[in-house]
Structure 1
Amino acid sequence: MSHIGFSVPDLRESVRFYRRVLGLVVQDELEDGAVRLGWGSGHHVVELVEGLKGLRHYGFEVRDADGVAGIGARLRAAGHQVGALDRRYFDCNAGAPDGITTVDPDGVEVHFHTEVRRPGESVADTGRRPVKYQHITLGTADLETMVAFYVDVIGFRISDQLDDGRFAWLRSDRDHHTLAVVHTGRGGDIDHYSYDLAEWADFKTWCDRLTEEKVDVTWGPGRHGPGNNLFVFFDDPAGNHVELSAEMEKFHDDRVTYTPRRWKPIPNTVNLWGGQLASWRRTSEGR
């Protein structure tokens, strides 16, 4: 994952939240009123602009040689519109990458760009700031089409899925999932997005910190089945679900043949520790 853009009802409050709670810093303020935040140096992570709550765009950094060109060619061959990603979108000090833009099957803008500088990433007091932006989970009314777009056109691989076809986890690198897709009944939605922590001990520190900052923990701590990662959730001021995660399962596709697992659509799949669910999460069996 590279970056994500939201429209939020109260820009000033959201900027304060991301600075105070997640330890991000303001890197740029754009002419259209958008504010970009990141690790303090290198490419930004979050872009916020005032407006009705919504997902405006999300982006991927493509690190393999000629990867962006290959994605662009496959998109065009499949009949998708592809544009050049405006380099003014990036801080020139972060590398001014080459990139393309398109829209996903639900009409949300997606960016793919070459590698950028991120010297501030992974250099932090992990009890005060996450290590990196890890993954996004999209909500959709047509999971099959969204998964086909990312697997058949973009080049992701399926790691795991639910038996009922309502959740799929996709990978683009060693991590179990960079992208997940869940059926929510509506498109152009975001279910949640996630930051990586370093280790289990950080979760105690973060839960204490969230309490001190008067931010409610809305789910967890727990451990997911697919991905086997530890998690805790809370909401930003706009109501976006934010996850902190650690110990994500790793894949080494050059060393093993892997068949995607199919999990039962029950609470204990998405939370191995007793099956407790968040208020917004449902499974087709068991609850």
Structure 2
Amino acid sequence: MALGAVSEMGYLAMRTRAYEESLQLATEVLGLRLTRDSGDRAYLAAADRHHELVYVKGDADGIDHIGLVAESAESLEVIRKKVEAGRFRIITRSPFEEAIGEGFAFVGPENYVFHIYTGMAGHRHGPASFGPDRYGHINIHPQDARAMKDFLVEFLGFKVSDVIGQNFAYFLRCNADHHGVAIIKGRGSLHHHAWQTQSIADLGRLGDRLFALGRRLIWGPVRHGAGHNIAAYYVEPNGTVVELYTDLEQIHDELRPPIEWSADDRTWFNRWGVYNGEDFRSHGAFPVELA
């Protein structure tokens, strides 16, 4: 169920100085499958597609770009025209990554690069002993939360599911998932990328796999109020946080008005405790400048 020109969260591409360690955690802890590794660029996925996560070996950690799926070739052209009219800098008018049919990339608010595309090649990974079902969403901490929200709504067709406080946080959806992009006012970093799993028991097993490697969860399992999902989190080598979640709210009413939360009502963040998350929010990686 597409709500606008963008119908799906496609993938996330990140730079990392700890390339091999990042791949180890993604495969042995999170449970993603490796599609291809060129030695300095690795493609991974949970679902049967070419990639949902890309690691790029680099001299600095950071966010390379965000891939979003346009509903159709016509939707892709609509977005392209809006981007041009908005005078955003277009980096390329052809696909930014391999295994993609048609697309273009541009620099959006706060230097985040967005790759809008249609059609990604499938990849048969085969059965897995553990791992998530699919890539689900990202959480960005822009300096101007309202401007980032307005961009996603006006240029890409996202709809607002929940609003927290006065221009503090927004949860936005592009399909039935409660959010594909969560925005919380912050330093300008991308805080976490999130992956859907079947059961809360999988969150416990994630903690066990981390412990076996001498690592720990930084938070969870926890039940959020906004989105209702149960989640657990750990930090990966480039500073971003990985979320494994289950039981995310599904919204099938396109006209459902946003739920508004008082900034003082912290149950939007944590329904099972009193933790306020300030140290949790200190993690993240910033967008890197692309030529």
**Which category of TM-score, normalised to the shorter sequence, fits these structures?**
0.7 to 0.9
String of CA shifts for 1:167-209, please: whole Å, max 9, x gaps: 110000000000111111x33x211110111122322332333
- Assess if the C-alpha contact under 8 Å between 2:32 and 2:132 holds in 1: no
Matched, 1:205 2:209: no
What is the distance in 1 between the residues matched to 2:205 and 2:73? 39
- Assess if the C-alpha contact under 8 Å between 1:121 and 1:131 holds in 2: no
TM-score (norm 1): 0.86
Matched letter for residue 194 of structure 1: A
Partner of 2:115: 111
Match of 1:56 among 64, 68, 76: 64
Partner of 2:28: 20
What is the distance in 1 between the residues matched to 2:111 and 2:38? 24
What is the distance in 2 between the residues matched to 1:201 and 1:16? 22
Partner of 1:100: 104
How far 1:114 sits from its partner (Å)?
0.8
String of CA shifts for 1:37-57, please: whole Å, max 9, x gaps: 224853212222222121111
Matched, 1:72 2:80: yes
Range that drifts further, 211-220 or 170-179: 211-220
How far 1:243 sits from its partner (Å)?
0.5
What is the distance in 2 between the residues matched to 1:250 and 1:141? 28
**Closer, same or farther: CA 274–84 of 1 in aligned 2, 3 Å:** same
Matched letter for residue 100 of structure 1: F
**Closer, same or farther: CA 55–83 of 1 in aligned 2, 3 Å:** closer
Match of 1:133 among 124, 135, 138: 135
Matched, 1:170 2:168: no
Identity over the aligned pairs, expressed in percent? 26
What is the distance in 2 between the residues matched to 1:99 and 1:57? 13
Which fold has the larger relative contact order, with Cα–Cα distance below 8 Å and residues 6 or more apart in sequence? Answer: 2
TM-score (norm 2): 0.84
Cα RMSD of the aligned pairs, angstroms, is 2.4
Where 1:82 maps in the other structure, the secondary structure is strand
Where 1:20 maps in the other structure, the secondary structure is helix
**Closer, same or farther: CA 250–27 of 1 in aligned 2, 3 Å:** same
